[in-house]
Amino acid sequence: MSVILVTGGTGLVGKAIQHVIETEPEGSKFGKKPGEKWVFASSSEGDLKDPEQTKKLFEKYKPTHVIHLAALVGGLFANMKYKLTFYRDNTLINDNVLYTSHLFGVKKVISCLSTCVYPDKVEYPLDETKIHLGLPHESNFGYAHAKRMVDVANHAYKDQYGSNFTSAIPTNIFGPHDNFELERAHVIPALIHKCYLAQQNGTPFIIGGTGKPLRQFIYSRDLAKLFIWQLREYDDVEPVILSVGEDEEVSIKQVTDAIVKAMNFTGEYDFDTSRADGQFRKPASNKKLLSLIGEFEFTPFEKALEETVKWFLDNYENARK
Ligand code: NDP
């Protein structure tokens, strides 16, 4: 019997893994396998900043495998304002989860990093070898350093104890159950919510910046499948970037057009070019992933966005917003 504990199991990525496990045919590539028990834990089951509560959670479920997603996640503003909180909370959460996994003899842990922990000055495209090649951007250094240390810890656990701890590095994620709070949300959920309000109020839909920057977005339900693959098939300490290809970058203008279409928005929309754009591109390579997984079909961006907008509209009352 395998018990797979998903920390942060109630967030954007955790809910997507639960969806895939529960909707793919049992025994199929990404479906639940016989003898597997999946546990999706929220912070109400235990605050992972606290070692005792972490231990209690592990005592309760006795996991054999852990997908570690729990993190203090926030937008640019929160990251800039609360650097110590982002550093400390994430350091505590990660240390407690890895150390408790070690104490309980967990066979495998996959922790979730992020491409925003990479050095500010780095040669693109990003790949798995470049995480520690320079300081992260000043705006999110608390979060970035805490996350980078997971890779350091994974290597140290392997060297000292032979542990099978590794990590995944997703690019920008979107999908059902995202955080749509205007002040805190990432670009796609923020624009979906803004478009919704413009539609409701009969006001123009204004997008900050020129719309030209390019980003790689991964649908949370595709990412969920990649986590399930990594859990079952990948046994190395080095991280794997989980992303669509560099040739599948999408501009903010394309994101906006897809939202306008999915939302049937009929009002005016415009770009506020007085607002900063951020970096033009920060491409990440998914070559390592593709060389290991072979074939993988990513959901077309527009379809994934349509499903996300539909989820937001159907769940407006209860969505994080
Ligand atoms: P969410 O904010 O949607 O979910 C966070 C999850 O972590 C929730 O289940 C939350 O529980 C849990 N959590 C937070 N703090 C604690 C705590 N102290 N103790 C226990 N559980 C806690 O995050 P995402 O799903 O977006 O992110 C998942 C992972 O992916 C994170 O590690 C993040 O860094 C990474 N990532 C995210 C990206 C994105 O675009 N969203 C991009 C790249 C990486 P509760 O619901 O009870 O609060």
Pick from 173, 186, 318 the residue to mutate for probing ligand 1's pocket: most ligand atoms within 8 Å of its CB: 173
Complex ipTM > 0.90:
yes
Q: What is the CATH number of the domain that holds 12?
A: 3.40.50.720
Mean pLDDT of 82-105: 98
Mean pLDDT of 15-42: 96
Q: Is the pLDDT confidence value at 197 over 80?
A: yes
- Is residue 54 included in any domain, yes or no? yes
Task: Judge if the beta carbon of residue 186 lies within 6 A of ligand 1.
Answer: yes
Q: Cβ–Cβ contacts within 10 Å for residue 263, how many? A: 21
Pick from 39, 49, 73, 255 the residue to mutate for probing ligand 1's pocket: most ligand atoms within 8 Å of its CB: 73
Q: Is the pLDDT confidence value at 147 over 90?
A: yes
Quickly state the pLDDT bin for 246 (edges 50, 70, 90): very high
pLDDT at 183: 81
Mean pLDDT of 189-211: 95
Burial letters 128-137, b for 16+ CB under 10 A, else e = bebbeeeebb
C-alpha 261 – ligand 1 centre gap (Å): 29
C-alpha 232 – ligand 1 centre gap (Å): 22
- Is residue 236 included in any domain, yes or no? yes
pLDDT at 247: 92
3-state DSSP assignment of residue 65: strand
Q: pLDDT tens digits for 32-45? A: 999 999 999 999 99
104 vs 39, 47, 51, CA distance in Å? 16, 18, 13
Quickly state the pLDDT bin for 155 (edges 50, 70, 90): very high
Its sign, for the CA torsion 309, 310, 311, 317, is: positive
- Is residue 235 included in any domain, yes or no? yes
- Is residue 40 included in any domain, yes or no? yes
Query: How is residue 53 written in tokens?
Result: 């509560």
3-state DSSP assignment of residue 271: strand
pLDDT at 132: 98
pLDDT at 154: 98
Mean pLDDT of 141-151: 97
Q: pLDDT tens digits for 107-123? A: 999 999 999 999 999 99
304 vs 43, 115, 120, CA distance in Å? 28, 21, 30
- Is residue 109 included in any domain, yes or no? yes
Please list the active-site residues. Answer: 143
Q: Which atom of ligand 1 is nearest to the CA of 70?
A: 7
78 HSE (CA, 13 A, CB side): 14
pLDDT at 278: 78
pLDDT at 184: 81
Integer Cα distance of 219 and 174 in angstroms: 5
Q: pLDDT tens digits for 55-87? A: 999 999 999 999 999 999 987 778 888 999 999
Contact 181, 301 (CB under 8 A): no
Query: How is residue 67 written in tokens?
Result: 């997908």
Quickly state the pLDDT bin for 131 (edges 50, 70, 90): very high
What residue numbers bound the domain in which 228 lies? 2-174+216-244+284-298
C-alpha 112 – ligand 1 centre gap (Å): 9
pLDDT at 260: 96
How many folded domains does the chain comprise? 1
Tell me the β-bridge partners of 179: 320
C-alpha 8 – ligand 1 centre gap (Å): 5
Ranking 2-16, 65-79, 212-226, 291-305 by mean pLDDT, the lowest is: 65-79
Q: What angle do CA 289, 293, 294 make, to 5 degrees?
A: 110
pLDDT at 168: 98
Query: How is residue 315 written in tokens?
Result: 């769940």
Extract the runs of DSSP E, i.e. beta strands, from the chain: 2-7, 36-40, 65-68, 108-112, 165-170, 172-174, 205-208, 214-215, 217-219, 240-242, 250-251, 269-272
Pick from 17, 40, 69, 115 the residue to mutate for probing ligand 1's pocket: most ligand atoms within 8 Å of its CB: 69
State the pTM of this model: 0.97
Ranking 2-16, 19-33, 70-84, 195-209 by mean pLDDT, the lowest is: 70-84
- Is residue 207 included in any domain, yes or no? no
Mean residue pLDDT across the chain: 95
Q: Which atom of ligand 1 is nearest to the CA of 15?
A: 25
Task: Judge if the beta carbon of residue 199 lies within 6 A of ligand 1.
Answer: no
3-state DSSP assignment of residue 317: coil
Which region holds residue 241: left if phi is over 0, alpha if psi is between -120 and 50, else beta? beta
Please give the DSSP secondary-structure letter assigned to residue 69: -
- Is residue 264 included in any domain, yes or no? no
- Is residue 250 included in any domain, yes or no? no
pLDDT at 188: 95
pLDDT at 266: 92
